[in-house]
Structure 1
Amino acid sequence: EVTLDSSKAGHVLNEKLTVENALRGLLMPSGNDSANVLAAATARKAENDEDMSFAKCEAVFTDLMNKKAEELGAVNSHFTNAHGYHDENHYSCAYDMALFAMAFMQNETLAEIVSEKSFSGNGADGQFADDPEVITQDYNWVSHNYLITDNEYQYAYATGIKTGFTDEAGECLTASAEKGDMKLISLLFKGSDPARWTESASLLEYGFNNYARVELTAAGAAIEEVPLTKHNKLQGDTVPLVYQNALVTYLPTNAVDSVETTVTILDDYKVEEKDGTVKVKAPLTKGEEIATVTYTIDGKEVAQMPAYAGADIEKGTIFNNIWYGLKTFFSHLFSLKGLITVVVIVLILAIIYLILKRMRYGGGYGGGYRRRGGYTLKSPSRRRGRRRW
C-alpha cells in the first residue's frame, strides 16, 4: 500500500524475503514498499496478531516510532507512517535526525547495509530454491547515496546513511563518515542536487579538520577521591568517584586543553562542613549514583555525566570508631616514630626515678656526712696537727 509516485524496492504480494534484505530494500533504493513490509511484520509480532489489518499495523508501528523518538530525546518529531511520504503531522528536525542517526549507526547490521554500494541476489538468500510454490525474487539494488557509490560526488570517508525526498522537504541527506578515530554525522534538509552531495562532504570535512575526538575519562576510572563523613573509618576517609562508561566527546581542536571539571554531589549525599568542605554521607553502595560531573569550556557546558560510588562504605558506629581509635593508637605506638617516643619517655622516667631516690636517701647533691646505716657522698676534712687538752 504505497502511492504510485513513491520510490519502491519492487516487492510482490506473498513474496518471501529475509528481514535483512527487506532492510536493504528500504535503505538502498529507498523502497517505501519495504518500509510497509517491515512495519506490518513488526506490528503483528508486537501485538501477537498475524491477521491484523495494515491500517492497524501502521497505527501500532508509528506509535512505536513515536515512543522510540521520545526515548532517544527527540524534541520536535512526530510520525504517522513508516515510509516518510508527506503528511502534515509527519515531521522531524535536524537535531532529532542526528539523534536517530547516532542510534542507527550503533546497530552493526544497519551500519553495514548503508555502507554497501549495491546488492545483487535472492531476496530470501536462496532458502526456497527447491520449493517452486514459494515466491521469491532476485534483486539488483544500487544505493541512492552518491557519497557511497562510484561517481564524481563520492566522498572517500563516507560510510552512509540515507537519502530522502518529497516536494515539500526537498532533497535531503543524512550522511556519516569515518576518518581515523573520528566518526561524524551531517544533516542537510531542503537541498537540491548536486548541492546535497558537495555540501554534505564539506560539512564532514569541516568537522574532521576543526574538531578532535576526546576521551574525557575511561570507563571505571576514578575521577577523584571524595571525603567521607558519618562513615566507618576503618574503610578509609574517602570514596573513589567513578564513571560506569567512558565519556567521549568532540571538541574544537583549539579548546581541548581548556576543559574544566566540576563535581557536584547530589543533595541526598551532600554534607557541607563549616569551613565549606563538601563531604559524602555514608552509608554507600558501590555503583550508587552520588554525583554529577560537568565539563565546561569558558563557562559553556560541553558534557555532563553521572558519577558513582566506587566502593561499599558502611555507616560509622561507636564500636568501629572505638576499634579505629585503638588501631590507630597501636599503629602509632609500634611505628619507628612511636618506638623512639616510647624510649625517650622511658629514659626520662628512669632519670626522674634516680634523682628522686638519691634525694630521699642522700639529702640531695650537697656535702654529706657519714652516718650509721647510710653511705658517704663527701667525707669531712681532716684536721691539721694535734692538740691535747
Structure 2
Amino acid sequence: MTQKSEKLFFNSLKIALLVFLILLIPVPVYSTQESNSTLPDISAKSAILIDAYTGQLLYQKNPNLRCFPASTTKILTALVALSKEKDLNKTFKVSKTAIMIEPGSSSYYLNEGETISFQDALYAMLLISANDAANVIAENISGSIQEFVKEMNLFAQNIGAKNSHFVNPNGLHNPQHYTTAYDLSLIARQAYKNEILRKIMSTVEYKITTASMHKKPDWQIIYNINKLLRKNSKYYYPYANGMKTGYTAQAKRCLIASAKKDDIDLIAVILASDDAFADVIKLFDYGFNNFKKEELFKQNQIVGKVMVDKTNNKWIEGYIKSPFFILKNQSSNSKKQDVTYHVDFLKDIKPPITKDTVIGKVYIYSSGYLLTSIPVLSYESYIPQSKVTTFVHNVKRGFVKGMKFLFYVLFILSVLMIIFIVAIIIKLRRKKVKLRLRSTKTIDFSSFVNKKLK
C-alpha cells in the first residue's frame, strides 16, 4: 500500500467512525404514549399544570414565584379587549404612540395613520406576537395605553390573580411588570372558556385583509409561532390546541399552552425556561398518561340538610344538580389526591322555600387553592303552616303524645294489677291448704306396741 492510499484509508476510517458516533447520539423524542408516574424534570424556574375547566393542580413548581411574563401578557390584553368590545369588525386606527416599540421586538410593522380591524389586530397580536398590534388594541379600546393597563390590573384582581402587576399590554420588559405561574393559569382558564380566543390561538395560518397600508401578499399571511401547533416542527404535539409564547432576555422562554386528549383538557404555564416547548410537552405527557377523570359528585347528589323552621322542626335536604369531575392519579405510587371540599349552608334561611332555591354552597379546593364553588339547591319546596293551623297541629300533636303516654301508663297499671291479683290468689290458696292440714286428726300408733292381746 502506497503512502497516498494509506492516508486515504485512514481518512475514510475517521469519517466512518465519526458517522458511527453521530448515530449513537440520542435524539429527543416526545412520547405521548408511555406512562411515567414520576414527576417530570423540567428546566423552568416556575411552572404549573392544571385541569383547564376546574383548575385542579396536577403539577406545580414554584407556582407563586414572581416572574416576568413577556408576551404571555397578550392573553390578558385580549381578554380585557373582548370584555369591552364585541364588534370584531370595528376599525382601529394606528397612532404614532402605538408603533413606538422596542427596536427588534415582534411587530406587524403597522404604520401611523393606518387602519386595521379589531379581529385582524387580535390575530396579529396572538399569532406573531405583534407588540404594535397590542398597543393599537389598547388605545382604541380605552383611549390610551395607561387607561387600558388599569383595566388589565383590575381584571386580574377580579379573577384572583392577586400577585401580578402589569404596566403595558404587550409584555415588553419592565421591572414592575410581573406575575406568577399560578396567576397566569387563572388568566389562561378565562381565555380557554372564550370561544373567540380559543379559535384564534389554535389557528396555524391566517390572512390579514384589513390593514390599509399592507398591500403585498407576503405581508398579509401570518403563521402562528407556537411550535406545538406546527407539523413541521420537532416540538409538534398532536393534542395541543393553542395559547401563547413569550420571550425577553430577562424573562427567558415563557409559554402558556393548552391541550386536549379524550375527555381531559389541560393548561400548562412555563416561566423562565431554557426550553419552554420541551418542558410543556413533559408536563402534558405526565398529565395525560397518569390522570383519569372521576366523579366527585354525582348528578342530583344529596350533600347535607339544614334546619329551615325551628317551630315545626323542619329540615330540608340540599343537593348538587350537575355532576362534578376531578382528575385522579392512576399510578400505584401516587399520593392521596389533595382535593377537598366543605358544604356551607346559608344562615337563617327563611321559608317559604321553593324547590331548587340556593340554600348554600360547596367549596372545592386543590392543594389549598380554591377551585370553585357549587350552589347547593333545596331538594323540595316548603311552605310553613299558618299560626292557627300550627296551633291546631301542635294541639293534635300534643294530644297524640298525651294519648300515647296515657296508653303506656294504663298498660303498665294493667300489668301491675294482673300481677297483684295473681299474687293474692296464690297467697289465698296457700292459706287454705294450711288450714286443711291443721283440721286433720293425728293417730299415735306407738301406743299399740305395749298392749297385750287377750
TM range (shorter): 0.5 to 0.7
- What is the aligned counterpart of 1:308 among 373, 376, 395? 376
Is 1:65 aligned to 2:152, yes or no? yes
Q: Secondary structure at the match of 1:214?
A: strand
- What is the aligned counterpart of 1:188 among 254, 270, 273? 270
Amino acid in structure 2 at the alignment position of 1:161? M
The two structures have a TM-score, normalised by structure 1, of: 0.65
For the residues of structure 1 that align with 2:287 and 2:322, how far apart are their CA atoms? Answer: 25
Query: Do the aligned partners of residues 240 and 18 (structure 1) sit closer, same or farther apart at CA in structure 2, a change above 3 Å counting?
Result: farther
Is 1:210 aligned to 2:290, yes or no? yes
Residue pair 2:306, 2:317 contacting (<8 A) in 1 also: no
Q: Secondary structure at the match of 1:85?
A: coil
Q: Secondary structure at the match of 1:198?
A: helix
Amino acid in structure 2 at the alignment position of 1:147? L
Query: Do the aligned partners of residues 215 and 68 (structure 1) sit closer, same or farther apart at CA in structure 2, a change above 3 Å counting?
Result: farther
Query: Do the aligned partners of residues 328 and 253 (structure 1) sit closer, same or farther apart at CA in structure 2, a change above 3 Å counting?
Result: farther
Residue pair 2:328, 2:337 contacting (<8 A) in 1 also: no
Residue pair 1:148, 1:159 contacting (<8 A) in 2 also: yes
Query: Do the aligned partners of residues 18 and 287 (structure 1) sit closer, same or farther apart at CA in structure 2, a change above 3 Å counting?
Result: farther
- Corresponding residue for 1:161? 243
Q: Secondary structure at the match of 1:187?
A: strand
Cα offset, 1:260, TM superposition = 7.2
Aligned length: 291
Residue pair 1:232, 1:316 contacting (<8 A) in 2 also: no
- Equivalence map 1:361-372=2 (5 Å): none
- Corresponding residue for 1:201? 281
Q: Secondary structure at the match of 2:258?
A: strand
For the residues of structure 2 that align with 1:8 and 1:95, how far apart are their CA atoms? Answer: 28
- Equivalence map 1:220-259=2 (5 Å): 221-224=300-303, 226=305, 228-230=307-309, 237-243=314-320, 247-253=324-330
Cα offset, 1:258, TM superposition = 10
Residue pair 2:303, 2:343 contacting (<8 A) in 1 also: no
Amino acid in structure 1 at the alignment position of 2:107? K
For the residues of structure 2 that align with 1:89 and 1:16, how far apart are their CA atoms? Answer: 31
Q: Secondary structure at the match of 1:79?
A: coil
- Corresponding residue for 1:147? 228
Query: Do the aligned partners of residues 158 and 136 (structure 1) sit closer, same or farther apart at CA in structure 2, a change above 3 Å counting?
Result: same
Cα offset, 1:291, TM superposition = 3.0
Amino acid in structure 1 at the alignment position of 2:229? I
Query: Do the aligned partners of residues 229 and 189 (structure 1) sit closer, same or farther apart at CA in structure 2, a change above 3 Å counting?
Result: closer
Query: Do the aligned partners of residues 247 and 140 (structure 1) sit closer, same or farther apart at CA in structure 2, a change above 3 Å counting?
Result: same
- Corresponding residue for 2:141? 42
For the residues of structure 2 that align with 1:2 and 1:244, how far apart are their CA atoms? Answer: 51
Residue pair 2:301, 2:321 contacting (<8 A) in 1 also: no
Cα offset, 1:21, TM superposition = 1.3
Cα offset, 1:246, TM superposition = 5.2
Query: Do the aligned partners of residues 256 and 21 (structure 1) sit closer, same or farther apart at CA in structure 2, a change above 3 Å counting?
Result: farther
For the residues of structure 1 that align with 2:229 and 2:240, how far apart are their CA atoms? Answer: 6
- What is the aligned counterpart of 1:290 among 359, 382, 388? 359
Residue pair 2:353, 2:382 contacting (<8 A) in 1 also: yes
Higher RCO (C-alpha 8 Å, min separation 6): 2
For the residues of structure 1 that align with 2:338 and 2:213, how far apart are their CA atoms? Answer: 62
Tell me the alpha carbon deviations over residues 362-383 of structure 1, each in whole angstroms, 9 at most, x when there is no partner. xxxxxxxxxxxxxxxxxxxxxx
RMSD over aligned CA atoms reads 3.4
Query: Do the aligned partners of residues 295 and 84 (structure 1) sit closer, same or farther apart at CA in structure 2, a change above 3 Å counting?
Result: closer
Q: Secondary structure at the match of 2:184?
A: helix
Q: Secondary structure at the match of 1:12?
A: coil
- What is the aligned counterpart of 2:176 among 89, 113, 133? 89
Query: Do the aligned partners of residues 244 and 12 (structure 1) sit closer, same or farther apart at CA in structure 2, a change above 3 Å counting?
Result: farther
Mark the runs of 5 or more structure 1 residues left unpaired by the alignment: 45-56, 125-133, 270-279, 330-389
Amino acid in structure 2 at the alignment position of 1:112? K
Q: Secondary structure at the match of 1:80?
A: coil
Cα offset, 1:289, TM superposition = 4.4
Query: Do the aligned partners of residues 326 and 18 (structure 1) sit closer, same or farther apart at CA in structure 2, a change above 3 Å counting?
Result: farther
Cα offset, 1:241, TM superposition = 1.5
What percentage of residue pairs aligned between the two structures are identical? 27
Query: Do the aligned partners of residues 253 and 304 (structure 1) sit closer, same or farther apart at CA in structure 2, a change above 3 Å counting?
Result: farther
Query: Do the aligned partners of residues 32 and 323 (structure 1) sit closer, same or farther apart at CA in structure 2, a change above 3 Å counting?
Result: farther
- Corresponding residue for 2:13? none
- Corresponding residue for 1:341? none
Query: Do the aligned partners of residues 304 and 68 (structure 1) sit closer, same or farther apart at CA in structure 2, a change above 3 Å counting?
Result: closer
For the residues of structure 1 that align with 2:248 and 2:341, how far apart are their CA atoms? Answer: 45
For the residues of structure 2 that align with 1:227 and 1:265, how far apart are their CA atoms? Answer: 7
For the residues of structure 1 that align with 2:175 and 2:339, how far apart are their CA atoms? Answer: 43
- What is the aligned counterpart of 1:75 among 162, 166, 190? 162
- Give the structure with the higher percent helix: 2
